[in-house]
Structure 1
Amino acid sequence: MAREKKTRNNGRRSPLAAVALIGLGLLLTGGAYAGASAAVAATTDSSTSVSAAADTDTGKKLFQANCATCHGMDLEGTANGPSLVGVGELAVEFQVSTGRMPLQMQGPQAPQKPVQFTEEQTRDMAAWVQSVAPGATYPAENIISGEGDVARGAELFRINCAMCHNVAAAGGALTEGKYAPPLTSTSPLHIYAAMVTGPQNMPVFNNMTLTEQDKQDIIASLVFTQQEVNPGGFTLGSLGPVSEGLFIWIFGIGALVAITVWITAKSN
């Protein structure tokens, strides 16, 4: 009996052996998984980098062929155009996709005109400018969604923007042949871009002046104005008493003069 007990004890494994085997298995499995994940991630990153490089390369060629004459080969600016260092991709998106750039001719202000580049080409140029000299970038989707506090946005617009763009966002004249364009058909992205980049004579509204929530509410207010149906008939440019008074003067008094002349001619 004693001999059998000794044999049985010699064949028994240590309790730590099972733990060691489980740990080794987990280590090997985890290592294999980590290696596979790293390989997949490296492949994905490589593909993304190649795609981004292709986009920026195309953007660089487009920029140098169409914009470098005024802004310089490396965005340094020339006597005919300002430096673009630090303006960012959002400024390029605004200027190019609204047709303001390339500039047709020198003048007090760059007017909107038919767009010369596709959306993809514009994004490529913007990506290259951003890669060379980073600046303002695209906003979060919720900011330009058109969803916000319309009443609060209208108040902020009247305080900060209406003196140039008119309380109805119909635009207005400035000094020296310059003007604030109407916002009646401007996209939410371009409204945001104008606030952030300050094109033409517009000041830059950074987050210290107008928070992201303020900008979202202003955009919501303008989108509401664009979609609002005017129940009063002719808006006369939404320029207020000026256009209304001119209409009354020309057509109202003109009609009275015409009737007076007709009555006089009839009596004679």
Structure 2
Amino acid sequence: MARKPAKANRRHPLATVVLIAIGLAFTGGGYALFTSTATAQTDTASSTSQSSVDEGKKLFAANCATCHGMSLEGSTAGPALLGVGAASVDFQVGTGRMPLAMQGPQAMEKPPQFTEEQTQALADYVASLSPGPAIPTDDQLTANGNATNGGELFRINCAMCHNVAGAGGALTEGKFAPSLTGVDSKYIYEAMLTGPQNMPVFNDHNITPEDKRDIITYLKYIQNNDSTGGYDLGNLGPVAEGLFIWIFGIGAVVALTVWLTAKSN
């Protein structure tokens, strides 16, 4: 019986093996390239972060450890910093409240002693030992939220100390709630997040990040727009308004009465 001739288009038995090998070579090469690039980026970020932590450790040892302890355990001169996170360090150091200039009812705001890079390094170091609330991102600080909702939240949670217009106010034992006019959005957010000094902590379960942004939007709105009620008298509330009425209002009535009496005589 005659044998059938092989088809002209029949593939070689090793063709499939060659194709698989080529596919594996391309796949493996691409994966290796991607992995090496990602690893290099991770190593660079890790190196940068570690260098920041190392710099923060030096700054902390020289400026903060005397009161707070090298391991954040605190002392009789300063509280422990375990769990305060980067946000608290950024707020306290960035506003100049720390290092403390002198003992008093509360830490006073003053020109910061450290640069932004040094402040970040201190925050990185503290967060590396004991994680806590992180520094807010730019998206969380954009004052494009709902000012109406922010105003309502501010009046409910903040106005009893900071005044409805954020002008600040006196507290007990020589303490006070500072004015919020001109304060950077980052520090307003961090203050809500960490509760510095006499302020309660408003974590993300109490006031969500979106609500915090609304509060910042409200504060920036009243700061950048004129009062619709006329002369604001410093936004100091009923005390300033009452004093104004006593001096000028009742004073005018008394002066008018004296003038009328003198004229009749």
TM-score, structure 2 length as denominator?
0.88
Query: Which of the numbers 128, 133, 142 marks the counterpart of 2:130?
Result: 133
Tell me which residue corresponds to 2:168: 171
Tell me which residue corresponds to 1:85: 82
Which whole-Å CA distance do the structure 2 matches of 1:249 and 1:10 have between them?
112
Which whole-Å CA distance do the structure 2 matches of 1:71 and 1:254 have between them?
55
Judging changes above 3 Å, is the alpha-carbon distance between structure 1 residues 10 and 115 closer, same or farther for their aligned structure 2 residues?
Answer: closer
Q: Deviations for 1:64-123, whole angstroms, at most 9, x for unmatched residues?
A: 111111111111101010000100000000001111100011111101011111111101
Q: Deviations for 1:156-193, whole angstroms, at most 9, x for unmatched residues?
A: 11011111111111101111111111111111111111
Judging changes above 3 Å, is the alpha-carbon distance between structure 1 residues 258 and 69 closer, same or farther for their aligned structure 2 residues?
Answer: farther
Aligned residues, how many? 262
Give the conservation status (yes or no) of the 8 Å contact 1:146–1:216: yes
Aligned pairs for 1:165-244 within 5 A = 165-230=162-227, 234-244=231-241
Give the conservation status (yes or no) of the 8 Å contact 2:84–2:133: yes
Counterpart of 2:146, as a letter, is D
Judging changes above 3 Å, is the alpha-carbon distance between structure 1 residues 157 and 11 closer, same or farther for their aligned structure 2 residues?
Answer: closer
Judging changes above 3 Å, is the alpha-carbon distance between structure 1 residues 211 and 12 closer, same or farther for their aligned structure 2 residues?
Answer: closer
TM-score, structure 1 length as denominator?
0.87
Counterpart of 2:173, as a letter, is E
Which runs of no fewer than 5 residues in structure 2 stay unpaired? 260-265
Tell me which residue corresponds to 1:265: none
Judging changes above 3 Å, is the alpha-carbon distance between structure 1 residues 60 and 140 closer, same or farther for their aligned structure 2 residues?
Answer: same
Q: Which of 151-160 and 238-247 deviates more? A: 238-247
Which whole-Å CA distance do the structure 2 matches of 1:185 and 1:12 have between them?
81
Counterpart of 2:96, as a letter, is G
SS of residue in 2 equivalent to 1:142: helix
Tell me which residue corresponds to 1:115: 112
Give the conservation status (yes or no) of the 8 Å contact 2:90–2:135: no
Tell me which residue corresponds to 2:262: none
Matched, 1:246 2:221: no
Which runs of no fewer than 5 residues in structure 1 stay unpaired? 263-268
Query: Which of the numbers 141, 152, 156 marks the counterpart of 1:155?
Result: 152
Deviation for aligned residue 1:126: 0.5
Which whole-Å CA distance do the structure 1 matches of 2:78 and 2:169 have between them?
26
Judging changes above 3 Å, is the alpha-carbon distance between structure 1 residues 43 and 207 closer, same or farther for their aligned structure 2 residues?
Answer: closer
Which whole-Å CA distance do the structure 1 matches of 2:209 and 2:38 have between them?
34
Among the aligned pairs, what percent are the same residue?
55
Q: Deviations for 1:22-56, whole angstroms, at most 9, x for unmatched residues?
A: 22211011111112222222222222221111111
Aligned pairs for 1:70-81 within 5 A = 70-81=67-78
Tell me which residue corresponds to 1:69: 66
Which whole-Å CA distance do the structure 2 matches of 1:250 and 1:59 have between them?
55
Q: Which of 97-106 and 200-209 deviates more? A: 200-209
Q: CA RMSD in A?
A: 2.8
Which whole-Å CA distance do the structure 2 matches of 1:248 and 1:115 have between them?
41
Which whole-Å CA distance do the structure 2 matches of 1:261 and 1:35 have between them?
97
